[in-house]
Structure 1
Amino acid sequence: MTLYSKIVGTGSYLPEKRVTNEELAAQLAAKGIETSDEWIVSRSGISARHYAEPEQSSSDLGVIAAKRALEMAGMQPDDIDLIIVASSTPDFYGSFPSTACIVQKKLGMTNNCAAVDVQAVCSGFVYAVSTADSFIKSGMHKNVLVIGSEVFSRILNFEDRTTCVLFGDGAGAIVMSASQEPGILACKLHADGRHSDVLRVPGSLSNGAIAGSAFLYMDGQAVFKLAVSVLEKVAYEALDAAGMTSDQIDWLIPHQANIRIMNGTAKKLGMDAEKMVVTVDQHGNTSAASIPLALDVAVRDGRVKKGDVVMMEGVGGGFTWGAVLARM
Structure 2
Amino acid sequence: MTSQPLPASINDTQKLLDSQGYVGDRALATVLHLALRMNRPLFLEGEAGVGKTEIAKVLSSALGRDLIRLQCYEGLDVSTAVYEWNYAAQMVEIRVSEAAGDADHEALSKDVFSERFLIRRPVLQALQPSLKGPPVFLIDELDRADEAFEAFLLEVLADNQVTIPELGVVHAEAPPIVIITTNRTREIHDALKRRCLYHWVDYPDAERELEIVRRKVPGAAERLSRELVAFVQKLRSEEDLFKQPGVAETLDWATALTELNEIALDPDMVSDTLGVLLKYQDDIDRVRGSTARRMIDELRAEFDREAAAD
More strand by share: 1
Pair member with larger Rg: 2
* TM surpasses 0.5: no
TM (normalized to structure 2)? 0.26
More helix by share: 2
TM (normalized to structure 1)? 0.25
